[in-house]
Structure 1
Amino acid sequence: MVARRPTLRPDEVADVLLPPSTVRALRSVLPSVADAAVDQIIHEVPAYEDAFGGPMGETIRSAVQLALGGFLSLVSDRRGPDALAPRAGALDAAYQLGRGEVRSGRTSDALLSAYRIGARVCWERLAAKAVEEGMDPATMASFAALVFAYIDELSAASVAGHRDESATAGRMQQRMMERLARHLLGGAAEATVLASAERAAWAPPTTLTAVIAPESRAGTLQQMLRKGTLLVTDLPELDGVALLLVPDAHDSRRAALLRVVRDTDCLVGPPRPWLEARASYDRALRARALGLSGDTEEHLPLLVLTADESALADLRRRALAPLAELRPSSAEKLRETLRCWLLHQGRRDDVAAAMFVHPQTIRYRMNQLRELFGDALDDPDTVLALTLALGAGERQA
């Protein structure tokens, strides 16, 4: 239904009731008027250049004739409460035309341009015929006002149809894209995912990159990111945040993605082949569980070290066993000294600078550590175990 207040009133129509002979004369030129209007629209509006060819062109020409015929029925010499009834069918047809224009990929701007041009051509042709029939100037003026008011109603009905169809199509598209994303995350069969992508008219990219974003920013980010970005909300493992799957944000394009999400509390996973998008999402989820933010590629050492927290805890307990009998404060100082010593490859001055202590303090502590660990500090396997055990720093202390 077209939710629009009528702009034509019975008293306006009564001012332009035409005699049957004039109506017949005007009806006789409707086919040529429709053809002229369509030809001019094709000439002036590029979006319609290929729209009126073949059977579709004949259908639209017929629709124009029917709309004009409805107008002539409106101004034919008859009175009564049903004077405005003939336009109801034309308004409904105009509404459906607007919906069809969305499905054909044309904008409301193109549609309004077509109406504007069509109105001009129709008026020129109908006015010329009306003059031939001897229409007096006063009636001609009212006739002109009624023609343009009628076409304005038709265009408003078409715009309403275009708007409603656009909203419906947008919701349907978003639902289909979200269903596709859920199939990707849920490990659906490749054939199922491909069918879902086809239904969503979504061209598979080379890679997808998971971005966990605040729910309040997700919609805006989706518009700012690459075309085809998938948005999923209400995932059970996410609370107050949403997931974006960004196509082809790999290699040099990753920097552009990171610039867009900067200062938005987002987590950006690694790019992965599009059918393996779940791997990117899992990486971002793990980073979120660790309280991280930004680019997960900047947190790879910590993500590796914490991949198996139980194993890391066992490694720490075993590798740092020589410190177990010390007072907690002493053990903490020696543990941090050993960590810095490993990271700075034994350069005493660098270790001292990193810990803000005197180099002699480092020498004293390292002597303590050598007493506790013995020759094991020179064993590559022990050094590797200690590096891993202490690599997470205070987070795992």
Structure 2
Amino acid sequence: MARQRTLRLTRRTVTDLRASLPQVADRTVSAITDEVPSYSEAFTGHMGETIRGAVELALGGFLSLAERSRGAEQSPTAVAADGAYQLGRGEARSGRSVDALLSAYRIGARVAWREMSTTAVAAGLDAENVGRFAELVFAYIDELSAASVAGHGDERETTGRVRQRLLERLAAQLLAGADAEAVERAAEEAGWPVPETLTAVLVPDSQARAVLSSLSPETLQVAEPVEVHGEEGLAVLLVPDVHEHRRGALLRALEHRSAVAGPARPWSAVGDSLARAVRVRELGRGPDSEAHLAELVLCADPVALEDLRARVLAPLRELRPGSAEKLVETLRSWLLHQGRRDAVAADLFVHAQTVRYRMTQVREVLGERLDDPVAVLELTVALGTLDPEAWAAQTPDDAG
């Protein structure tokens, strides 16, 4: 705290100022209580006495500094500066903002200066030294407030890191299926309100921050990215209470991102939500896992599905690849559109007569199978997720 001019205080002035400190501290605390709402309760009772004593100690430190002032660069004593720093940390732990803390300092400086300058003038302090006294008072308060702000920021940063580690541990416990008591205990320790449901989201780690900005602040992020089907660097987010109509907002947040949202599940079963998101990711689909349920079921046992295709499509495999592809494509559309010829024609961008001609060929190959409900079911399953062109390009060995 640099000062360019020497402050000269007589012994009487110092004596009178020290005698006034208890009264100055009382009036300072009273003014802060009246003017800063967040301190109205904090300064009552035993805590109020403690703070009043701290204010008196800080003012006493200032007087000691002023008394030995000789114009050199001066700063608050180490004790006063450390006390201000610790005050800032305590205010952060109490949940009060740095704005409230700075308001308290401004009010405190105003009241302290008014009271102390009145006492100093009454004790004979001349006009020139009153100005120098004011400089020293406000410079001293500025440095104490700066120390408190630093303490407040350090505490918030430390608290944030600690809570982040607690939240990451909680996310791991949820995915590991830890018992309810352990999860609830970890949630309480982390200050995380236990939701009704959780929805697992897979998103590239590079996009996670942008997605999180659109989601609930209580969304959990798993500490380490995961790998899915050889794809590395996927972040896992656990989003609370986006079930039913609220799911739409989540899906909008994932638009134009390479993300997959699993289903909403009770928080104790969020591992099931992640498992489904992983399966949809493996299929190359998204962002809504629930839009691909039929495909998930059909692809649950890929080996069995290939065996089924090989058996029920064997008669068509005997045709030339080009013909086989067109007939399989037509049969697939015919089954999915329940035989409605115009709908099939629109789907394939061909004339309705072309559909009729191709289906006649299919019946010649498959015969009475198209009238057998079991055979129709097998064909529907076999063709449900089939790419006719890729199938036709397979060699007999490839097709099993």
Give the TM-score, by structure 1 length: 0.92
- Cα distance in structure 1, aligned partners of 2:190 and 2:236: 18
Q: Render the CA deviation track for 1:37-61: whole Å, top value 9, x for unaligned.
A: 1111111111112111222211111
Of residues 9, 21, 32, the one that matches 2:12 is 21
Say which is worse superposed, 162-171 or 323-332, in terms of deviation. Answer: 323-332
Whether 2:37 is the aligned partner of 1:46: answer yes
Query: Between the two proteins, what is the percent identity of the paired residues?
Result: 57
Q: Which structure 2 segments of 5+ residues have no match?
A: 392-400
Alpha carbons 1:18, 1:77 under 8 Å: kept: no
- Cα distance in structure 2, aligned partners of 1:373 and 1:155: 88
Q: 2:198 aligns to what SS in structure 1?
A: strand
Letter in 2 for 1:355: L
Show the counterpart of 1:246: 239
Of residues 268, 271, 278, the one that matches 1:278 is 271
> For the structure 1 residues 368 and 86, does the alpha-carbon distance in structure 2 shift closer, same or farther, using more than 3 Å as the test?
closer
Say which is worse superposed, 370-379 or 129-138, in terms of deviation. Answer: 370-379
Letter in 2 for 1:144: A
- List aligned pairs for 1:67-106, cutoff 5 A: 67-77=58-68, 84=74, 87-106=77-96
Q: Render the CA deviation track for 1:155-176: whole Å, top value 9, x for unaligned.
A: 0011111111111111111111
Say which is worse superposed, 104-113 or 307-316, in terms of deviation. Answer: 307-316
Whether 2:365 is the aligned partner of 1:372: answer yes
- Cα distance in structure 2, aligned partners of 1:28 and 1:286: 77
- Cα distance in structure 2, aligned partners of 1:118 and 1:251: 53
- Cα distance in structure 1, aligned partners of 2:310 and 2:44: 79
> For the structure 1 residues 233 and 330, does the alpha-carbon distance in structure 2 shift closer, same or farther, using more than 3 Å as the test?
farther
Show the counterpart of 1:267: 260
Show the counterpart of 1:30: 21
Letter in 1 for 2:371: D
Q: 1:227 aligns to what SS in structure 2?
A: coil
Show the counterpart of 2:394: none
Whether 2:175 is the aligned partner of 1:185: answer yes
- Cα distance in structure 1, aligned partners of 2:267 and 2:79: 49
For residue 251 of structure 1, report the CA deviation from its aligned partner: 1.3
Alpha carbons 2:76, 2:144 under 8 Å: kept: no
For residue 223 of structure 1, report the CA deviation from its aligned partner: 3.2
- Cα distance in structure 1, aligned partners of 2:21 and 2:161: 40
Letter in 2 for 1:114: A
Q: 1:240 aligns to what SS in structure 2?
A: strand
Alpha carbons 1:352, 1:362 under 8 Å: kept: yes
For residue 85 of structure 1, report the CA deviation from its aligned partner: 7.1
- Cα distance in structure 2, aligned partners of 1:197 and 1:143: 53
For residue 390 of structure 1, report the CA deviation from its aligned partner: 0.9
- List aligned pairs for 1:186-265, cutoff 5 A: 186-237=176-227, 239-265=232-258
- Cα distance in structure 2, aligned partners of 1:86 and 1:181: 45
Letter in 2 for 1:279: D
Letter in 2 for 1:53: T
For residue 17 of structure 1, report the CA deviation from its aligned partner: 4.0
- List aligned pairs for 1:143-158, cutoff 5 A: 143-158=133-148
Whether 2:347 is the aligned partner of 1:354: answer yes
For residue 78 of structure 1, report the CA deviation from its aligned partner: 7.0
Letter in 2 for 1:271: A
Show the counterpart of 2:379: 386
- Cα distance in structure 2, aligned partners of 1:235 and 1:218: 10
Alpha carbons 1:233, 1:241 under 8 Å: kept: no
For residue 102 of structure 1, report the CA deviation from its aligned partner: 1.0
- Cα distance in structure 1, aligned partners of 2:162 and 2:306: 49
Say which is worse superposed, 244-253 or 134-143, in terms of deviation. Answer: 244-253
Of residues 158, 162, 185, the one that matches 1:168 is 158
For residue 328 of structure 1, report the CA deviation from its aligned partner: 2.6
Alpha carbons 1:73, 1:86 under 8 Å: kept: no
Alpha carbons 1:119, 1:151 under 8 Å: kept: yes
**Pairs aligned (count):** 387
Say which is worse superposed, 153-162 or 369-378, in terms of deviation. Answer: 369-378
Show the counterpart of 1:8: 2
Q: 1:51 aligns to what SS in structure 2?
A: coil
Alpha carbons 2:7, 2:70 under 8 Å: kept: no
Of residues 314, 318, 325, the one that matches 2:311 is 318
- Cα distance in structure 2, aligned partners of 1:39 and 1:219: 45
Letter in 2 for 1:65: E
Letter in 2 for 1:199: E
Show the counterpart of 1:298: 291
Letter in 1 for 2:316: L
- Cα distance in structure 2, aligned partners of 1:270 and 1:120: 58
Q: 1:294 aligns to what SS in structure 2?
A: coil
Whether 2:152 is the aligned partner of 1:159: answer no
Show the counterpart of 1:4: none
> For the structure 1 residues 17 and 389, does the alpha-carbon distance in structure 2 shift closer, same or farther, using more than 3 Å as the test?
farther
Letter in 1 for 2:155: E
Give the TM-score, by structure 2 length: 0.91
> For the structure 1 residues 391 and 88, does the alpha-carbon distance in structure 2 shift closer, same or farther, using more than 3 Å as the test?
same
RMSD: 2.0
Q: Render the CA deviation track for 1:350-383: whole Å, top value 9, x for unaligned.
A: 2122112222222222122212222221122221
Alpha carbons 1:43, 1:49 under 8 Å: kept: yes
Show the counterpart of 2:321: 328
For residue 228 of structure 1, report the CA deviation from its aligned partner: 0.7
Of residues 33, 36, 59, the one that matches 2:50 is 59
Alpha carbons 2:332, 2:383 under 8 Å: kept: yes
Alpha carbons 2:76, 2:143 under 8 Å: kept: no
